[in-house]
Amino acid sequence: MGSQLFAPATAILLRMPHKTTSRPKPRSAAIKSKPGTKSKAKTKAKPEAEPVAVPTPLIAEELQSFDAGEEDAGLRLDHFLVARLPEISRVRVQQLIEQSKVLVNERPAKASLKLKGSELIEVTGKVEAPALKAIAEDIPLDVVFEDRSLAVVNKPAGMVVHAGAGSPEDERNRGTLVNALMFRFNKLSGVGGELRPGIVHRLDKDTSGLMVVAKSDRAHQKLAEQFSTRQVSKTYLALVHNWPKDDTGSIDDPIGRDPRNRTRMSVAGIDPRNALSHYTVLERLLTPYGRFALVEVKIDTGRTHQIRVHMASIGHPVVGDTLYGAPEYLLPRTLSREQQGNAISVRTQVRRTKSHGAGAATMSLDRNFLHAARLRFVHPVSGKVLEFEAPLPKELEEYLARLRKSAESIS
């Protein structure tokens, strides 16, 4: 395989479809894999929903009152409330106090107030969240294609698609894709609200690759319908740990929020929704750092962290994805231990990298080895099929090249 997997991202294919129709959703019984592919019990999931973002609602706190007792004497007010309101974060508690929504004996108080143990403490309202609005910023943007209705961009890893909760001036809301889009284009669709103008679908912060952006509301609605009815083709490249048993397979497991870690998603999560991924092994690498597989993944749905969750669930976490079990560093003697009959699991690799730390012989990647390489959809106005390809970013090409070179030393 050559060093570059795809043609430059500027390559565009246009053709007229014979007919554009909504494909029915595939049923679990119709999915087939090669013999040996693990079959998992299906969890009842919620039906599909359009991937159109909506503004974040205000977070309301329930009106409550507490009596401080002798055992609370000496405690700070904010520490007292954090202990009494486990469902509310420490930051939210401090915001309530700052906005005078907490009264001590019917008077506003500071967070640092030391309780005496005989006070009446009341939470009288909710946090008044500031209106969130994206801010235009002059940020370099790789625009692959654009016309009056839409644009296709190649998002770099490390860039958040849109701002999260917090003040518009918050540092966390700087450097987003939306901010870059607002500076580059005069107009974007308003369907997603002021926080997410033009955004029809998303990529994780540490995932790079192709995204389509809507410039008009009409284009946004048409594109969102295509995503919802699975007419958009999305293909990713990923480097994963270990070798999949079969060269092709499908993972049909609903995904929901991980009940033990709110930053993670899980195939055994809360409020699961249907998720379907198909993978094909393009290359198997036998290296001193272990076994790796370069895979192409096509997804029929667009759940949060879908590919990362699905691949990790079958024992093949994406390289660099420490959130889902990949080690932070690759150790050079991993394969030799395996060849001596000591099977090295990814979990064991994680434990060993924590004890060894970074070193001259280790390899690390400060992002996930996951890239949205191909995107195909029907133009919402002209009806033409547009197809785009983006090659692996330089840092992924170089990482893969280093692994291939290390593989030659043991061949």
164 contacts: CB under 8 Å, gap ≥ 6 = 172, 173
What gap in Å lies between CA 177 and CA 154, rounded to an integer? 10
For the beta carbon of residue 15, count every other beta carbon within 10 angstroms: 9
CA dihedral 110, 116, 122, 128 (to 10 degrees): 20
Q: Are 278 and 286 in contact (CB under 8 A)?
A: no
What gap in Å lies between CA 228 and CA 178, rounded to an integer? 22
User: Residues 72, 78, 204, 321: which is the catalytic one?
Assistant: 204
What gap in Å lies between CA 388 and CA 63, rounded to an integer? 52
Q: In 9-158, where does DSSP find H-type helix?
A: 77-84, 90-98
Q: Are 406 and 288 in contact (CB under 8 A)?
A: yes
Residue 333 DSSP label: T
Q: Quick check: is 204 catalytic?
A: yes
DSSP string, 87-130: TS-HHHHHHHHHTT-EEETTEE--TTPBP-S--EEEE-S---PP
Alpha carbon 219 to its chain centroid, in Å, reads: 24
Q: Are 291 and 241 in contact (CB under 8 A)?
A: yes
Of 305, 318, 296, 405, which is closest to residue 365 (Cα–Cα)?
318
What gap in Å lies between CA 298 and CA 279, rounded to an integer? 6
Reading the block at residue 136, the tokens are: 């235009």
What gap in Å lies between CA 231 and CA 248, rounded to an integer? 22
Q: Which residues are catalytic?
A: 204
